[in-house]
Amino acid sequence: MSVLVTGGAGYIGSHMVLGLADRGESVVVLDNLVTGFDWLVSPQAVLVQGDIADQALVGRLIAEHGVETIVHFAGSVVVPDSVSDPLGYYLNNTVKTRDLIAAAVAGGVKQFIFSSTAAVYGMAGLEPVSEDSLLQPQSPYGRSKLMSEMMLEDAAKAHPLRYAALRYFNVAGGDPSGRSGQATKGATHLIKVAVETALGRRAAIEVFGDDYPTPDGTAVRDYIHVTDLIAAHLAALDHLRNGGDSLVANVGYGRGYSVREVLDVVRRVHGTDFEIRQGGRRPGDPASIVANADRARTLLGWAPAHDDLEQIVGHAIAWERHLMRRNA
């Protein structure tokens, strides 16, 4: 009995592989290595290089490894890129997820855990959003993920498949013992870019927009430590294995930080100043998104252990130093 992790060579997926392996689970990773890295995959897992849309391959992996659960991270993840290449995002995130779900149903997979996103809410306002808040994605990325949620909901009604769609807020940081982190080339995520700038790998960081209706005018997000996010996946896996119902759940801390506040924390934790340039708004960006994650806490028993922006940034810095030594 194995767990199939798609996108397991990527940032978040590689942490899931570690979380599963640490529990003694048998893990198969399917990843086409478009943005992932084979060296990020724990040697305790089997890595298969291939595409999630290859239904014959997925069917073979399910049969050969006795896969009962698929945890689906593979996808395209950059909000502004989805604005310039919507059809590419709908193909990789929606059409190919449909193929993967079809292979899961055909192969008799029992449980499916899906990487959804806070981007499904869109213009959320400053109040924390719960799962039944208005779904109004502002970007093709958010829409591509919402459509995947809808497909899962319908497939689960028609077939013996139960699922958890976890809506992640902004994931950051790295494995506390330094085994994985974000290695994405040309990364666009705020904490990764800020840490690269603090370590002198970029000349400056640009703040996208200072005229949002937020306390300091810069956009507000709910940053969650990747290890806490993985704990929510492991809790969702246990919930489904124990016969629990399908669910959609937010995974965030319920506390928002503005871009300026995040940059202050990076400066403080790293102990140096770096150049910050003020720029205009980035297409597809909502002003603020903060989670109400009561459902994950009550239904899954999820209890975060790293809810501390300084710790998140500290782990991101430690990982970045590791990458610099590795590439030296």
Ligand X SMILES: NC(=O)c1ccc[n+]([C@@H]2O[C@H](COP(=O)([O-])OP(=O)(O)OC[C@H]3O[C@@H](n4cnc5c(N)ncnc54)[C@H](O)[C@@H]3O)[C@@H](O)[C@H]2O)c1
Residues that bind ligand GDU (CB under 6 A): 77, 79, 117-119, 168-170, 188-190, 193, 205-208, 219, 221, 259, 282, 285, 289
Question: Is the Cβ–Cβ distance between 138 and 119 less than 8 Å?
Answer: yes
| 4 vs 207, beta carbon nearer ligand GDU | 207
Question: Is the Cβ–Cβ distance between 292 and 130 less than 8 Å?
Answer: yes
For the chain, the helix, strand and coil percentages under 3-state DSSP, each to the nearest 5:
40, 20, 40
What are the angstrom distances between the C-alpha of 229 and each of 11, 90, 117, 297, 304?
12, 25, 12, 12, 8
Hunting for tokens 């981007």 — which residue is that? 119
Which residue in 11, 89, 121, 141 is the catalytic one? 141
Cβ 66 to ligand X, closest distance in Å? 21
CA angle (47, 163, 72) in 5-degree steps:
25
Residue 114, contacted partner among ligand GDU, ligand X, none, CB below 5-8 A by kind: none
Query: By CB under 6 A, is residue 96 in contact with ligand X?
Result: yes
Residues 182 to 211 in contact with ligand X, rule: CB under 6 A: 184
| 102 vs 276, beta carbon nearer ligand GDU | 276
CA proximity to 139, closest of 193, 91, 84, 88: 84
User: What is residue 276's DSSP assignment?
Assistant: E
Cβ 59 to ligand GDU, closest distance in Å? 29
Cβ 187 to ligand X, closest distance in Å? 9
Residue 129, contacted partner among ligand X, ligand GDU, none, CB below 5-8 A by kind: none
Burial class (CB in 10 A: 0-12, 13-18, 19+), 170: buried
Query: By CB under 6 A, is residue 286 in contact with ligand X?
Result: no
Residue 185 dihedral angles phi and psi, to the nearest 5°: -80, 140
- CB 1: neighbour CB atoms within 10 A? 9
What are the angstrom distances between the C-alpha of 95 and each of 29, 64, 87, 113, 146?
20, 25, 10, 17, 12
Cβ 129 to ligand GDU, closest distance in Å? 10
Contact track, ligand X, 168-187, x by CB under 6 A: x-xx------------x---
Cβ 3 to ligand GDU, closest distance in Å? 22
Residue 74, contacted partner among ligand X, ligand GDU, none, CB below 5-8 A by kind: ligand X
Q: Mark whether 141 is an active-site residue.
A: yes
Please give the residue ranges that form the binding site for ligand X (CB under 6 A): 6-7, 9-13, 30-36, 51-52, 73-75, 77, 92, 96, 115, 117, 168, 170-171, 184
| Residues labelled catalytic | 141
